[in-house]
Chain A
Amino acid sequence: MITRILLLLFLPSVIAQDLCEDGKDGYKVRLSIKTALGDKAYDWNESEMFLFRSSLAFAMRKYTQEEKFEISNILVCNETKRVSFVFVVTSPNDSTKLIPKDQVASAVRKHRHRLNSAFLLSDGTLEFVGIPPTLATPITYSTQPWLIVFGVVIGAVAVGILSVLMSTMTRRRRAADKGIDSGKEEERIEGFVKENGTSLTRLDSKDGDYNKAFSNDERFTKL
């Protein structure tokens, strides 16, 4: 009689162990708490395990939306010092039936962020072996940032070119107006100005010292 009672008491847990250790529909979980948190790492104990089972039950509830998963539906085995273990999820209606792997995976993926936050970990440090993390959405820009910078630079360059060309034009006009006296200006213009038939060699020759224009006229005076 007592054995029968004992058997009845321990049967569910024995069955549960069997379900978990079968390993077909279960996932291995690995936590790297010290890597993630360093000095602020907490110890892994019963309470933390309780939190895990409850958060997983929460994830299953949200995923299925009607079925009321309890903590007893989450079975855990093969715990190691690494802090790794295997878990399986049983159906709330029938505790001998396991929820299929892919459903569990989808539930975990959907609420990965909540699960991570519960433990202050990330996708890499709370590892579900066999469930790859969802990749973050790549940032898309309406205009590529490099085009904006390029626009700014090329605009500045264009302004520079225009101002230089403008100043050249004004210099030419000014030089054309002034005539020989433009020797006062320091700028050099590669002798392209022709002035009323006389030839100017250099517009920057100093006043009065050496009038090259004069000496050149000997050779180049047009008759």
Chain B
Amino acid sequence: MKLKLKLPNPGLDERIPSHAELERIEKEDAGERPQWDNKTQYMLTCVGFCVGLGNVWRFPYLCQSHGGGAFMIPFLILLVLEGIPLLHLEFAIGQRLRKGSVGVWTAINPYLAGVGISSMLVSFLVGMYYNTIIAWVMWYFFNSFQDPLPWSQCPVNENRSGLVSECARSSPVDYFWYRETLNTTSSIGETGGMQWWVVVCLVCAWTLLWVCCIRGIETTGKAVYITSTLPYVVLTIFLIRGLTLKGSVRGIEFLFTPDLDELLNPSTWLDAGAQVFYSFSLAFGGLISFSSYNSVHNNCEQDAVIISIINGLTSIYAAIVIYSIIGFRATERFDECLNGNILTLLNVFDLPEGNITETNYDSFIQNLNSTAPDALQELGLRTCDMQTFLSQGVEGTGLAFIVFTEAITKMPVSPLWSVLFFIMLFCLGLSTMFGSVEGVVVPLQDLNIFPKRWPKEIFTGMVCFASFGLAVIFAQGSGNYWLALFDSFAGSIPLLIIAFCEMMAVSYIYGIDRFNDDIKFMIGHKPNIFWQATWRFISPLVVLVIFLFYFVTTISKDLTYIAWDPESVNFPALVTLNYPQWVYIIIFLLSGVPALFIPGVALYKLIQKRCCKKEKHTEEAISSTSARIHMSDEADKSDTNINTLHSDNHN
């Protein structure tokens, strides 16, 4: 602790409001800055932002594939060492500097503006594809209002002689997802044209998002009462329903059976770290924004701990619910498979029904194997393995749109469960989108891209419209592959870099001493040794290790994707294809450009400063009180022109 490394940072006091300033702002309740109506709205918005689709469809899969109950150990350890400190840091810095992400980093040091712009870009890209997933959820939701559900049976072909071949060879749920929803092509190169129904759903998703975000937190603060609480209600309903179904306990056992050997596997720890990081929606800039609308003396430490705990518990709760339903589905499939085999045996050997049951099936097969193994081969019996059924395709869109929808068709009153499930996914996704939109709109405001007199409705409308316009690429036939590309590259590496820079900036450029004092001013006591250690060493180290791992694995191997190709040899198994060369450019743009903004903007500011040095001297001569207060965040912009429009309304 003796070594308080701090990089020189001149002019910091001019750029940020002092403690006295903050007290004054607090008392006057002044500021064009919006405010939360009450603490509940703030907490629900943050919980909604953090709890998203990943809690439902990524965490259960990781849990089960990395040793079940044993995965909790790395997950909880990294939650404490990585998640909570980063969350507290973002909350505290937002609450202290009272600005969005660009404003905060610019205030700490003008050369760091790139961090904020990078956050904004990543929020934009992620928001684009995330809302497309919501559009697909809405499509399924719209299609849930019919009995029987359209994905419960294969459609009949033109001359009514049989089922459509693609469907008969795979399954009705696969067919509905790949053909009737996505109408997917067989590779990323073939665009396949615009699927109008997906465009229609995209329009619906973006306009719904716009109406919720239209006035910033004024409207989202009301919307989160529903979008953040409804998922918990639905999860509980599904839990009760799930536990009453046959085979559900089998699924939960499968999920939590611990395999402590997995703890020795480094990829378990890395996956746990990555899951904690992405699950908290860190480095998007949304959390900094939300926190900046709080009152100055809000206890951000307590908030960070509470939200982290809620996020962790939600992941575990969702995992239990999901796996109870998966256990049910696996049991149904197993029974179907076994009964199919039994029927074949009865038919071939003309035995009376009831002669072979589930209990004596194994002994019968053994008997047959010893007496007539050739005959057994010829029968072509399917292998029915419960473990295989339990571990089938259970993450990501495959879980929601294939496995879970199939499970729903086997439940009585399926349309009801389908509607509930997709409403839950919709709410989970929408509340995360609120944070994304906030992470784009507020930096744009801070950068003064739009004239200040334009109402907020137009800002949010333009952002939503622009995102929708670009998201139309996901409505093509190959849209699913593009989305997977964005998911893997736009939302992974840049975030890690941004988070690392954030921690370095606060600890070493802003100064950990000053930060401690700020927190003492805000919440009344200095952050203890745990926070000091994690902010300065442990959390950056964890993030760095995860980043290096991801970077090395991405660079070293051939990048591939999985595709649905009815003409492939192993159909209905998905086929693994290599990305064509031109996609590598896109990957570089998605991963590299946001990250390169950080040094890029710093360099730009440096050049700007050097060549416009003369003007800067003139500006600094004006040092009257009013000028200092109002020019505080204009100091670095004064190079180009004197923009006096702080809060004043002159055109």
Contacts and interface: CB of A to CB of B under 8 A. Distances in A.
A107 interface: no
Interface stretch (B207-215, B384-392, B582-590): B207-215
Given A153-B204, A190-B456, A216 B648 contact: yes
A90 interface: no
B204 A157 contact: yes
Given A191-B453, A192-B452, A206-B28, 9 more contacts: A35-B353, A82-B353, A135-B163, A147-B142, A164-B215, A188-B218, A194-B651, A199-B650, A205-B30
Interface stretch (B105-113, B123-131, B343-351, B502-510): B343-351
A143 B347 CA distance: 44
B626 A215 contact: yes
Interface residues of B, number: 53
Interface string B109-139: 0000000000000000000000000000011
Contact of A146 (B28, B142, B214, B453): B142
B455 A192 contact: yes
Contacts of B373: none
Considering the complex of A and B, which 4 residue pairs feature the smallest CB-CB distances, nearest first? A192-B453, A146-B142, A80-B350, A34-B353
B178 to A, nearest CB: 18
Contact of B219 (A81, A141, A164): A164
A210 B28 CA distance: 8
B647 interface: yes
Nearest to B459: A190
B207 A210 contact: no
Contact of B644 (A84, A132, A191, A220): A220
A49 interface: no
A202 interface: yes
B200 interface: yes
Interface stretch (B154-162, B186-194, B273-281, B595-603): B154-162
A191 B155 contact: no
Nearest to B451: A192
Interface of A: 30, 32-35, 80-84, 132, 135, 138, 141, 145-150, 153-154, 157-158, 160-161, 164-165, 168, 188-194, 199-202, 204-206, 209-210, 212, 215-216, 218-220
A46 B37 CA distance: 81
Contacts of A148: 145
Contact of B649 (A135, A147, A160, A200): A200
B627 interface: yes
A215 B160 CA distance: 82
B13 interface: no
Given A191-B649, A199-B649, A150 B454 contact: no
Contacts of A34: 353-354
A154 B207 contact: yes
A206 B346 contact: no
A153 B351 contact: no
A189 B647 CA distance: 11
Contacts of B211: 157, 160-161, 164
A216 B452 CA distance: 17
A135 B162 contact: yes
Contacts of B346: 82
A202 B353 contact: no
A168 B28 CA distance: 25
Contacts of A205: 28, 30
Contact of A138 (B28, B155, B201, B347): B155
B29 interface: yes
Contact of A201 (B34, B210, B648): B648
A70 B138 CA distance: 60
A219 B626 contact: yes
B146 interface: yes
Given A82-B347, A145-B143, A219 B30 contact: no
A145 B104 CA distance: 49
A154 B204 contact: yes
Interface string B452-490: 111111000000000000000000000000000000000
B232 interface: no
Contacts, number: 131
Given A168-B455, A190-B456, A135 B156 contact: yes
Contacts of B454: 192
Contacts of A168: 215, 455, 457
A72 B201 CA distance: 64
A68 B517 CA distance: 105
Interface string B22-40: 0000001111101000000
B141 interface: yes
Given A81-B350, A82-B351, A82-B353, A201 B649 contact: yes
A153 B145 CA distance: 13
B352 interface: yes
B648 A190 contact: no
Given A164-B214, A191-B452, A194-B649, A157 B142 contact: no
Nearest to B625: A215
Contacts of A145: 142-143, 145-146
Contacts of B214: 161, 164
Interface in B67-112: none
B443 to A, nearest CB: 16
A165 B648 contact: no
B32 A191 contact: yes
Contact of A188 (B32, B156, B210, B219): B32
B200 A150 contact: yes
Contact of B352 (A83, A199, A200): A83
A210 B155 CA distance: 71
Contact of A150 (B146, B204, B452, B627): B204
A157 B30 contact: no
A183 to B, nearest CB: 10
B202 to A, nearest CB: 12
Nearest to A153: B204
A90 to B, nearest CB: 25
Contacts of A80: 350
26 contacts: A30-B347, A32-B353, A33-B353, A149-B141, A150-B201, A154-B203, A160-B211, A168-B455, A190-B455, A191-B453, A191-B647, A191-B648, A191-B649, A192-B455, A193-B649, A194-B651, A199-B648, A200-B649, A201-B648, A209-B28, A210-B30, A212-B30, A216-B630, A219-B626, A219-B627, A220-B650
Nearest to B210: A161
Contact of A202 (B31, B453, B644): B31
Interface in B148-206: 155-156, 160, 162-163, 200-201, 203-204
Contacts of A33: 353
B453 A83 contact: no
A149 B142 contact: yes
Contacts of A132: 162
Interface in B610-651: 626-627, 630, 644, 647-651
